[in-house]
Amino acid sequence: MDIPLEVGKAIYRTAIDRKAHDAEGVAWWAGVVAEVAAVIRADNVSAAAQVILWWHADWTEVGDTARAAASRIRRAARNLKVRLVTQE
């Protein structure tokens, strides 16, 4: 994880699910925050969407897409002034 857990939670809650609770557990949140960091670090929105594409069932249930969600995650990170170095 490249960003603090609480920052990752804030980004996820802003971009994806405002009702996500701490009760999900540390392991669940650590995985989510690692993926949020990977979305932020991605070279572009298309690459970012690929990181979270596996959440497909969740996107279709709410009429959303991985690309739209990736865009929201990246926007929320920018608003919180979170910057990560892209991997080479």
Q: Assign residue 63 a region: left if phi > 0, alpha if psi is -120 to 50, beta otherwise?
A: left
In this structure, is residue 68 part of a structural domain?
A: yes
State pTM to two decimals. 0.81
Per-residue confidence band for 82, with pLDDT thresholds at 50, 70 and 90: confident
In this structure, is residue 84 part of a structural domain?
A: no
Q: Is the pLDDT of residue 88 over 50?
A: no
Q: Is the pLDDT of residue 17 over 60?
A: yes
Range of the domain at 74: 5-79
In this structure, is residue 23 part of a structural domain?
A: yes
Domain count along the chain? 1
- Please provide the average confidence, as pLDDT, over all residues in the chain: 87
Angle at CA 55, nearest 5°, toward 53 and 59? Answer: 95
In this structure, is residue 88 part of a structural domain?
A: no
In this structure, is residue 43 part of a structural domain?
A: yes
In this structure, is residue 57 part of a structural domain?
A: yes
